[in-house]
Amino acid sequence: MTSPLFGIVADDLTGAMDSAGAMATHGLSAEVLLQGDLDLSRTTPDVVCINTQSRLMSERQAVRAVTGATRRLLSLGCARLYKKIDSTLRGHVGAELTATLQAAGTARAFVCPAFPEMGRTTRGGLLHVEGQALTVTREGNDPFSAVGEASVVRLLQQQTGYNIGLVPLEDVEQGGDAVVDRAETLLAGGCNLVVMDATSREHMITLASALGNSYSKDLVAGSAGMAAALAKVRKKETADTGRQAMTRPAGSFVIISGSLHPASYEQVQQFSRSSSVKLVPVSAEAVLQSPHRVALTTVRDAADAVAGGHDVALFWRKPKSLPALLQGAPFTRVSVQAIAGFFGSVLAGLILQQDLAGLVVVGGETAQMVVKAVGATSIELLGEVRPGIPTG
């Protein structure tokens, strides 16, 4: 069997899909493993991604999961390891990066969390979201994984025992040779982790080219944006497929918007104004009080809509109607799991009654519960509809 070109360790399903999907967009075959091992009876994909779902684990559990995933990828002979990290530094970034390095038997890596196409940029080692310092954004104040530091360098210094260096934007703008020169100086000076600035897609390509030419075996940690850049550079000698037009299959699609972000509600409303989708709103408060009853009602309403030939959107009612525990006030992990798991149980019931043409899921926790509910063991990535929206 041939060996994969890339082995990715991601800490949640959203990141796994984003990074593998970004690579698939540039012509690499990619698969996300959800349960079990790679099916060796089939052609080995260019990219194998393991989702450890460790972002909200304890640090000890996360380290154990990442160590195991890294060893599995090494056993497959992956030519390069890629540690997917959140573009806003949520989760156990330092601990998981350290675990990956130790499992791989190395002590240096290149780190670039920037994803300019999604508004995440780094300048002077500081991470910005849509031009604002990370620490003042919603992402930086996630109730389950708040990030108290906008400096990637300082955060890694705090979370690892490694020496950290920075390739500043000025070097990146000068091109790949300047990037390599700076990296060599930092490595020679004892740096283990080299953080790299980027504020544009062109910067990402410059960094990926430098890494591909001079550090092809070293661990890279970053966002889906860096994953895409590495794949584009890796495939430059062949035809770059780009984003392919996708033909919609016949039948009904089910859209599950499990995110509690107000923007998700507005997206569903906007979509409904430009399509004939049937809306099935759900009360999160009712789910917490009587999940079984609400699930039965939701399955019935969705099944009726599908039987009538309609697409269906399942989503939470307008955010202001949700209980305070879902609006940023302290709330329990049990509540969040119940909320995320609800739509998984609904989909499991729905597919017993109706055949579906496709599924669109918004919200990482929801996606994890949905694939678990339907018994999926892996997802083959086809590419992206647009950056950050993978399809498989």
CATH of the domain at 177: 3.40.50.10840
The answer to whether 282 and 316 are in contact (CB under 8 A) is yes
| Residue 212: its H or E element | helix 201-214
Where does the pLDDT of residue 116 fall: very low under 50, low under 70, confident under 90, or very high at 90 and above?
very high
Q: 48 pairs with which residues across the strands? A: 7, 31
Residue 113: predicted pLDDT: 97
In a domain, 245, yes or no: no
The pair of three-digit structure tokens given for residue 323, joined into one six-digit string? 């209980």
Counting DSSP H helices and E strands in the chain, the numbers are: 13, 18
Please provide the DSSP assignment of 349-375 as one string: HHTTT---SEEEEESHHHHHHHHHHTT
Q: Which three-class secondary structure state does DSSP give residue 278?
A: strand
Q: Do 225 and 291 have their domain in common?
A: no
Residue 319, pLDDT above cutoff 60 = no
In a domain, 383, yes or no: no
Q: How many other C-beta atoms can be found within 10 angstroms of the C-beta atom of residue 276?
A: 8
The pair of three-digit structure tokens given for residue 390, joined into one six-digit string? 């993978």
Both ends of the chain: CA-CA distance in Å? 24
| Residue 31: its H or E element | strand 30-33
In a domain, 146, yes or no: yes
Q: Do 93 and 126 have their domain in common?
A: yes
Q: Do 82 and 166 have their domain in common?
A: yes
Residue 300: predicted pLDDT: 96
Task: Read off the pLDDT of each residue in 173-182 and give the average, rounded to a whole number.
Answer: 98
Residue type, 12: D
In a domain, 369, yes or no: no
Lowest mean pLDDT across 48-57, 171-180, 274-283: 274-283
Residue 246: predicted pLDDT: 62
Where does the pLDDT of residue 368 fall: very low under 50, low under 70, confident under 90, or very high at 90 and above?
confident
Residue 56: predicted pLDDT: 85
Residue 1: predicted pLDDT: 63
In a domain, 372, yes or no: no
Nearest Cα residue to 9 out of 66, 64, 87: 66
* φ, ψ (nearest 5 deg) of residue 121: -135, 155
More confident residue, 372 or 206: 206
* φ, ψ (nearest 5 deg) of residue 317: -60, 170
The answer to whether 155 and 149 are in contact (CB under 8 A) is yes
In a domain, 195, yes or no: yes
Task: Read off the pLDDT of each residue in 294-318 and give the average, rounded to a whole number.
Answer: 92
Last residue of a domain, one of 234, 266, 286: 234
Q: Do 103 and 228 have their domain in common?
A: yes
Instruction: Give the residue numbers spanning the domain of 336.
Output: 253-356
Alpha carbon distance 92, 59 (integer Å): 7
Q: Which residues neighbour 245 within 8 Å (Cβ) at sequence distance 6 or greater?
A: none
Specify the DSSP class assigned to residue 247: P
Residue 330: predicted pLDDT: 41
Q: Do 219 and 266 have their domain in common?
A: no
Q: Do 29 and 79 have their domain in common?
A: yes
* φ, ψ (nearest 5 deg) of residue 355: -80, 140
Helices (H), 28-75: 59-75
In a domain, 374, yes or no: no
Q: Do 213 and 80 have their domain in common?
A: yes
Lowest mean pLDDT across 201-205, 294-298, 334-338: 334-338
Q: How many other C-beta atoms can be found within 10 angstroms of the C-beta atom of residue 202?
A: 13
Alpha carbon distance 31, 61 (integer Å): 24
The pair of three-digit structure tokens given for residue 322, joined into one six-digit string? 């949700």
Q: pTM to 2 decimals? A: 0.88
Alpha carbon distance 347, 367 (integer Å): 11
* φ, ψ (nearest 5 deg) of residue 323: -65, 160
Residue 36: predicted pLDDT: 65
In a domain, 375, yes or no: no
Q: Which residues neighbour 216 within 8 Å (Cβ) at sequence distance 6 or greater?
A: 79, 80
Most confident option among 140-154, 200-214, 250-264: 200-214
Q: Do 27 and 166 have their domain in common?
A: yes
Give me the torsion for CA of 177, 183, 186, 190, rounded to 10°. Answer: -140
Q: How many other C-beta atoms can be found within 10 angstroms of the C-beta atom of residue 300?
A: 14
Residue 334: predicted pLDDT: 52
Residue 286: predicted pLDDT: 86
Residue 156: predicted pLDDT: 97
Residue type, 298: T
Average pLDDT score over the chain: 87
More confident residue, 106 or 2: 106
Q: 281 pairs with which residues across the strands? A: 315
pLDDT digits (tens, 9 = 90+) for 5-43: 999 999 999 999 999 999 999 999 999 998 766 666 577
Q: Do 274 and 346 have their domain in common?
A: yes
Residue 165, pLDDT above cutoff 60 = yes
Residue 340, pLDDT above cutoff 80 = no
Q: Do 174 and 89 have their domain in common?
A: yes
pLDDT digits (tens, 9 = 90+) for 225-257: 999 999 999 875 444 444 455 677 788 899 999
Residue 273, pLDDT above cutoff 90 = no
Number of domains in the chain: 2
Q: Do 186 and 268 have their domain in common?
A: no
Residue 143: predicted pLDDT: 65
Alpha carbon distance 224, 103 (integer Å): 22
Task: Read off the pLDDT of each residue in 130-138 and give the average, rounded to a whole number.
Answer: 83
Q: Do 178 and 266 have their domain in common?
A: no
